[in-house]
Chains A and B, each alone.
Chain A
Amino acid sequence: MTGEKKKKKVKTIKIDIDKCNGCRACEVICSAFHSTPKYASNNPARSRIRIHFDPLRDIYLPVYAGEYTAAECMGRDKYTINGKEYDECDFCRASCPSRTLFKEPDSGLPLKCDMCEDDPELKEPMCVQWCLNDALTYEEHEEEVEEELKMEDVELGLKSMVDQYGWQKVIDTVARMAKRAEAPKSS
């Protein structure tokens, strides 16, 4: 946290929920892109974009995975927009203890949209490329921002484990596993 100002490329995905056709192709290709090796598998539960859908009420609401949070918030407001009822949580990007959304289904580790960072850089994130109905569009602009440390994936995962188990248990477990990994294999 240096407090210095620098020019930063800000990437935005605009979401037009009126245009969403409910196909969830974005969930397929996002989870596929982020699988290892790339595209080897897909699983909407691992997608960083999820559609809140309720077809018989004509509700389709794409939301991107955002910050991880250790504690639920207090608010559970309901919104009515154009006669359709939404929960406040429907709009929320957080990987939160109150729900399974934006968490890996097996490990429970949080998911966060990284705009499909890759080398070489993609023209647009994959969800935008696969949304042929333009419900998702990509924009870039420059902003002056304060420089901040970026949390890596590993840090994100560790932070949530520390929140759940506490520092000591995590440190002890890592030490134990590292030792086991170094030890010669017994037959």
Chain B
Amino acid sequence: MRYAETGVNLEIDLSRGSIEKVVTDPAWTELYLGGLGTNAKILWDRVPPETHPFSPENLLIFSAGLLDGTPAPGANRTILSTFSPQTLLMAFSMMGGFFGPELKYAGYDKVIVRGKSPDLVYLWINNDKVEIRDARHLRGKGALETIERIKEELNEPKAQVMAIGLAGENRVYFASVETTRGSASRLGIGAVMGDKGLKAIAVRGTNDIHIARPAEFVEVCNDLLKYILHRLNNPLKGGVAPILARIGSPQEMALHDEAWHTASFAWGHARYRKPDFWNKEVEEKWAAITETVRKRLVSCYNCPVKCAGYIHYPGYSNYILKCFSKLTYTMAAMSDLDFGFRILAHAHEYGVDGFTTPQVLAFAVELYEAGILTDQDMPGFPKTNEERFFWLLERTVRREGIGDVLANGVYWAARQIGKGAEAFDHNTIKKHEQVPIKLGMLNPIYFLMWATGEKINITQIEGQIPQVPFETKEDKEDFVRDWIHVPNKYADAFKRFVLEWEPRGEHALPFYPPVDVVCALVEWQEILHYIDDSTGICAGLSSFPLKPPYHINNLPRIISLATGMDLDDEALWEIATRNRTLVRAINIRRGMRRSDEKPPADHWKRRFPEFETKLLETYYRFRGWNEEGIPTEETLRRLRLEEVAEDFLERGILKGKEEAAKGNVTKQG
């Protein structure tokens, strides 16, 4: 009997049109749990490092999390994994909603797709009946429209469907994969899906999902629900921004107070802060439009938190929205929320990444304003920013004219355009667009997270710690008093950090907290994300907010009760570290090195190059990596990744008898 997981993967070869059901090895569950962990293992084993993302040999994996479809609240994520056409490194993106659990109820943990279909197709998974079906009649249709049509033609209103829009079909490097309530947006996974000729996957499942220790497990779930209710009714105080004071995704659909986002983040192509933008007039105007178009707050599967809003803007297609995408187009276009809601309707149907796309469009506007792109490149380019954004979006998703260049993202577009455009690529890391934020003082914790995160997206490595110091002693003590979430081995250090952190003086950024505490804080935040991405638990209840319901001190038991494993916090930490290290190994094998690991030059006004170098080196040593950021042979063997060690030695990536980076490394430029 398999607990929590189904124990079966679907292997689909679109070149041959073959469908196989493969029973999985329970030993892998013990080592990697599932979701991102086992996805990484499959990609490591089966995709050679020279494989281009658009090769038929590239795998596209759709995975339910290990706990999806169990009663665990918020365990509903689908984890997509492949290689990114933009970064050429591993791509993984998680979506919420309802697909993952439905796949489990159908009897499968994963759908692994290889090859390419000669014609556009979609996959229909109906319990044990699996078909590859003709999708040529869906070519060019929007993602959400496709979902509706497929449910109609199958006469399965309860089916869950994920689909690409025009952007995915045209292999736009920031094409997303959409469901009605959840999107796998980043790193161009939609482009790989389009490249393989896969328009959509529909699934319907009516089987049981079993857990090992039922009564105890549901008792824990009841406790989680109690804590969730407590956190919903008691947003954190002490000066925490309202957007950060609750759980779930930042509650941007429910709350109107966007002072923090509009003042802290950068407008345009991640250029300008507008610290005085937010005022009563703007708040009232934005609240009014939101209340008009947002008809209901909705949730994902088996989660009581209502992060998403159903948006009905008359004259535009309906969609469901959550979180920061509410503002990314608005701020990139230097416009207002009304514009944001309208262009988002198009974005959802075309299926494009809500972080990258606004940046690419703003980048194009910048180049035009600078005369690097001209009227010849963009005939008929409109005059207002809003019209420009719509104009550029239409051409980008179709790869028409300048859109064909922009569709590859800022990094590649800048190099293709030339004429000084490279200088305008100022907000990418590892060729991937970053959240638009440019602050004053270097934050060492964030420096390491920007530089070394494999997801190359700050929101999927951060969480747990306040972004600024609390103002009063009372607020600090209030916060640490019930901070049950901190890991035992670092509890004292982390609490001391919050209690001592000041905006100025010897306990201020960038040289406080001490470097070893910085490293530990980064490791903790990152580990939680790797746990979530394997279990399928939503980061909104776990790795992302302050004081979440799931944390390192209850997750081991929760996973154990569901699966029958016997984990404590150390064992779970090790599994997450193994997964994290395996993802790094995949990227190292594809050529990633230390020189790639840096935030953009303008990410903070106040930089400290020597200190940053020391920080990175110390962090590499702390994680058991050498001075190139490569996990050492000792680290790999300790984590039972012997085959990775052997592979690295064979390829000369590691040179035998590696020692971790030494203490007195000479200063480098």
Contacts and interface: CB of A to CB of B under 8 A. Distances in A.
B306 interface: yes
Interface in A35-51: 35, 37-46
Contacts of A35: 208, 214
A43 B105 contact: yes
A51 B495 CA distance: 44
B75 to A, nearest CB: 10
A79 to B, nearest CB: 16
A23 B299 contact: yes
A37 B210 CA distance: 11
A44 B208 contact: no
B296 interface: yes
A38 B217 CA distance: 11
Interface residues of B, number: 44
Contact of B208 (A21, A43, A129, A132): A43
Interface in A1-52: 21-25, 28-29, 32, 35, 37-46, 52
A105 interface: yes
B206 A43 contact: yes
Counting contact residues on chain A (CB < 8 A from B), the size range is 20 to 34
A40 B211 contact: yes
Nearest to B158: A53
A58 B222 CA distance: 29
Contact of B148 (A39, A42, A53, A56): A56
A53 B209 CA distance: 22
B320 A133 contact: no
Contacts, number: 100
A43 B306 contact: no
A132 B209 contact: no
B302 interface: yes
B657 to A, nearest CB: 51
A113 B71 CA distance: 19
Interface in A52-85: 52-58, 60
B310 A42 contact: no
Contact of B210 (A23, A40, A130): A40
A150 to B, nearest CB: 28
Contact of A41 (B211, B295, B318): B211
B215 interface: yes
A52 B158 CA distance: 8
A21 B211 contact: no
Contacts of A129: 222
B298 interface: yes
Interface string B268-301: 0000000000000000000000000001111111
B299 A21 contact: yes
Contact of B229 (A25, A29, A132): A132
B453 interface: no
A89 to B, nearest CB: 11
Nearest to A32: B71
B414 interface: no
Nearest to B157: A54
Contact of A45 (B144, B206, B222): B206
B228 A44 contact: no
A30 to B, nearest CB: 11
Nearest to A101: B158
Contacts of A29: 71, 218
Given A43-B208, A44-B105, A58-B295, 5 more contacts: A42-B71, A43-B105, A58-B310, A60-B296, A105-B206
26 contacts: A21-B299, A21-B304, A23-B303, A23-B304, A25-B303, A29-B218, A32-B71, A35-B214, A39-B215, A41-B209, A41-B214, A42-B70, A43-B206, A45-B105, A52-B157, A53-B157, A54-B157, A55-B181, A56-B144, A56-B147, A56-B180, A58-B296, A58-B318, A105-B206, A133-B304, A133-B306
